[in-house]
């Protein structure tokens, strides 16, 4: 595995700063390393490049994105209620995205790629899933 370069590190950190995504850095690194690490210094060249490309192409939305950001946070809150967390109590974005990409989801896209209409649909689906979870799992 070829490690990420200093140039990539500088570019990644610059994009995170510009897009005001520092609070989401660990979650993004986890997502792009397939949960292997939360440290950008431990990313491979290819993993880092994929994240840089996503940031450049606006696949990852600015956290100040207003309404859509609140909608994404609502999905995350619902998943938190269902216990979709990692061992360190951080939200399990990999699990959320796996569900959204599965046959059980009507969106077939990752959380950060959903349009406003798709976010409405996802919130409705996760609400129903939470209702089921509260009735049958606990």
What span, in angstroms and rounded, lies between the C-alpha atoms of 115 and 112?
A: 9
pLDDT band at 63 (very low <50, low <70, confident <90, very high): very low
pLDDT per position as a tens digit, 9-50 = 999 998 888 887 888 899 999 999 989 999 999 999 999 999
- Residue 109 to residues 34, 59, 96, 97, 100, Cα–Cα distance (Å): 16, 11, 10, 8, 6
- Residue 74 to residues 6, 59, 77, 103, Cα–Cα distance (Å): 36, 19, 5, 22
* Closest CA relative to residue 112, chosen from 15, 23, 12, 24: 24
Whether the model clears a pTM of 0.95, i.e. scores above it, the answer is: no
Can you read off the two tokens belonging to residue 68? 């859509």
pLDDT per position as a tens digit, 70-119 = 899 899 999 999 999 988 888 899 999 999 999 999 889 999 888 888 99
pLDDT band at 1 (very low <50, low <70, confident <90, very high): confident
Residue 126, Cβ density class (10 Å: 0-12 exposed, 13-18 middle, ≥19 buried): buried
Report whether pLDDT(136) > 70.
Answer: yes
Whether the CB-CB separation of 49 and 100 falls below 8 Å is answered with no
Can you read off the two tokens belonging to residue 9? 């590190």
């Amino acid at each position: 595995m070829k490690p990420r370069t200093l140039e990539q590190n500088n570019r990644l950190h610059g994009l995170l700063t510009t897009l005001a995504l520092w609070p989401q850095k660990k979650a993004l690194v986890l997502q792009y390393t397939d949960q292997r690490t939360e440290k950008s210094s431990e990313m491979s060249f290819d993993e880092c490049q994929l994240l840089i490309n996503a940031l450049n192409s606006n696949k990852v939305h600015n956290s100040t994105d207003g309404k859509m950001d609140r909608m994404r946070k609502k999905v995350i809150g619902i998943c938190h209620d269902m216990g979709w967390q990692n061992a360190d109590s951080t939200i399990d974005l990999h699990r959320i995205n796996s569900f959204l990409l599965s046959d059980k989801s009507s969106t077939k896209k990752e959380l950060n790629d959903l349009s406003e209409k798709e976010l409405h649909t996802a919130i409705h689906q996760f609400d129903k899933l939470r209702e089921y979870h509260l009735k049958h799992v606990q």
